[in-house]
Structure 1
Amino acid sequence: MTQSKRKGIYLLPNLLTTAGLFSGFFAVVSSMNGRFEAAAIAIFVAMIFDGLDGRVARMTNTQSEFGAEYDSMADMVSFGMAPALVSYNWALSELGKIGWLAAFIYVAGAALRLARFNTQIGIADKRYFQGLASPAAAALVAGLVWVGVEYDVNGHDYGIIVALLTGVAGLLMVSNFKYNSFKEVDWHGKVPFVALLAVLLVFIIVATEPALVLFVVFALYACAGPINTFRSVETIRLEDVVGDPIDEDADFQQRNEEKSPSEKNPADKPSEK
């Protein structure tokens, strides 16, 4: 009689996911106490843990359905609720309905983005993200708050601008704009020695003004999606911006399969050579 498989969860990847969840929760609590710099930094820390848990799970062969679901729920807190509440507490609370609506647009966009991502695992083009990834959107909002605190800016004085950026970040997450995922980069390959010097230079630049540099980087990345999309299509359609994108190749294949054998073009038959 074989022994039944022991039930449980893998500790290491879920521990990293929990650390990311804690960072997002800490960001919310810090913003409620007026510690906006700590709140913004905590969101960036959550991004680090979010990037580690999946890679550690693959490296240690500890992937599981529980881990995937837990990671998605943790992302909703760290990159959905936390950035919206930090932005609201810093700059949007005095705008009334406009303020909380802008924050809600961001939260709804993050929820829809994560739901769509989960349903497209295994079928989406790994080279691109469809819509702005929720960690990048969170970094954009948190980076703005961090820059404002760094330069002693009163967020309530620029509430409309913050509301606009927060709402746009939420809409970009549910858009069809193509964003490079950088998953095709060979991280195991060899690079010239000068590449290491370039990496060191990047670290030095980030260390000098981390808030400003990170905000500019993620702002440029947010703008790259529309640029990539507009450059890759000849005529911009509504499906290229929002909604269900039309896959012309799949549509052609479906129509071709519905034809009777006599209607099919002989050139469509597989080669017998």
Structure 2
Amino acid sequence: MPSSASGERPPQTRRTATVEFVRGSVRGSRRRALATLPSLFTLANMLCGFAAILVSIRGQYTLAAVLIGLSVLFDITDGAVARLVGAVTPFGLQFDSLADLVSFGLAPALLAFTLFSEGRDEWDPLGWVVCFLWVACAAIRLARFNTTIDPTADKRYFIGMPSPGAAGIVLASVFAFGDSMQGRDRLWVLLVVALPAVLMVTNIRFRSFRSLVSPKSGRPYGLIAAAVLLVVGLALWPVVTFCLLAYGYLFAPVLVPVVAPLAGLLPARLKEVLS
């Protein structure tokens, strides 16, 4: 009986060995390319954060806010891509945290300080303290997230305000109140920085929207409707929409228990998406 019929492999020749080597190399290259893809989005996140720091120093505050906003998008995308291609690795987790410290730690703090500071006046030391508080809390938040991964925890929630959400408060404030964030009546700016900074290191639970980015259902109608409303709002009323999103997320732990009794009025499909 031929060896192929008996289940035995035919003797390997130099040609078959070369073909198998090439095929294995191609498969390995594809796996490496897929594993590298999330890190490219993380690198773009860091690049936008670094660029935001540079333009903040030049006084281009609106551009800096836009760049940090792009960092938020890249930060959301790199996690979604990593889960999609099955490339969630310890390296990716640490690299993502380092990028987040640049984009959501240093960049928002420097943006807020350059808006607040008038240059060596009596309030500058207070600005130093509050902006350093932001950087310290962002670093603690990211380090705690990396070292306290609990497989039994509820993945729908973050413990402490996530740093991209906290950065969104600063961005929304820059877009809405950038002109009034300078001048003598500007101490309220420190509250915009201090409150989200402290919330980053609390044990207050904030909703995670990973289930919306990567919905389990094959018919994500609720997600599509929400995305359409968001796009329309940003196109027609960008500042108002952005402020509603940022400050709504800030006060969500207080507002959600208040409006929770109204959940019974929502359609079952929408409740499934939001649950």
TM-score (norm 1): 0.74
Aligned to 1:128: 157
Contact persistence 1:177–1:226 (CA under 8 A): no
Superposed CA offset, 1:187-244 (max 9, x none): 533255x875554233111112323321231111111124558999xxxxxxxxxxxx
Superposed CA offset, 1:163-183 (max 9, x none): 111011100101111111134
1:156 and 1:102, CA in 2 relative to 1: closer, same or farther beyond 3 A? farther
Cα-Cα RMSD = 3.0
1:153 and 1:68, CA in 2 relative to 1: closer, same or farther beyond 3 A? same
Query: How many aligned positions are there?
Result: 228
SS in structure 1 of the partner of residue 176 of structure 2: helix
Contact persistence 1:13–1:54 (CA under 8 A): yes
Superposed CA offset, 1:106-128 (max 9, x none): 11111111111112223432121
1:177 and 1:227, CA in 2 relative to 1: closer, same or farther beyond 3 A? farther
Is it true that 1:75 corresponds to 2:100 in the alignment?
A: yes
1:166 and 1:92, CA in 2 relative to 1: closer, same or farther beyond 3 A? farther
1:198 and 1:77, CA in 2 relative to 1: closer, same or farther beyond 3 A? closer
TM-score (norm 2): 0.73
Aligned to 1:246: none
Structure 1 Cα separation of the partners of residues 259 and 138 of structure 2 = 26
Give the structure with the higher percent helix: 2
Contact persistence 1:40–1:145 (CA under 8 A): yes
Is it true that 1:182 corresponds to 2:209 in the alignment?
A: yes
Contact persistence 2:181–2:189 (CA under 8 A): no
Q: Which of 140, 145, 148 is residue 174 of structure 2 equivalent to?
A: 145
Paired residue type of 2:145: F
SS in structure 2 of the partner of residue 106 of structure 1: helix
Paired residue type of 1:177: I
Contact persistence 2:94–2:146 (CA under 8 A): no
Superposed CA offset, 1:50-74 (max 9, x none): 0111111221222322111111100
1:130 and 1:92, CA in 2 relative to 1: closer, same or farther beyond 3 A? farther
Paired residue type of 2:168: A
Q: Which of 219, 231, 250 is residue 203 of structure 1 equivalent to?
A: 231
1:80 and 1:132, CA in 2 relative to 1: closer, same or farther beyond 3 A? same
Structure 2 Cα separation of the partners of residues 196 and 211 of structure 1 = 22
Q: Which blocks of at least 5 consecutive residues in structure 2 are unaligned?
A: 1-23, 261-275
Q: Which of 64, 87, 90 is residue 62 of structure 1 equivalent to?
A: 87
1:172 and 1:231, CA in 2 relative to 1: closer, same or farther beyond 3 A? farther
Q: Which of 87, 112, 116 is residue 140 of structure 2 equivalent to?
A: 112
Structure 2 Cα separation of the partners of residues 209 and 32 of structure 1 = 28
Structure 2 Cα separation of the partners of residues 83 and 143 of structure 1 = 11
Structure 1 Cα separation of the partners of residues 154 and 186 of structure 2 = 37
Contact persistence 1:86–1:142 (CA under 8 A): no
Paired residue type of 1:204: V
Aligned to 1:98: 126
Which has the greater radius of gyration?
Answer: 2
Q: Could you tell me the percent identity over the aligned residues?
A: 35
Superposed CA offset, 1:127-178 (max 9, x none): 21111110000111122112223xx435234421111110111001011111
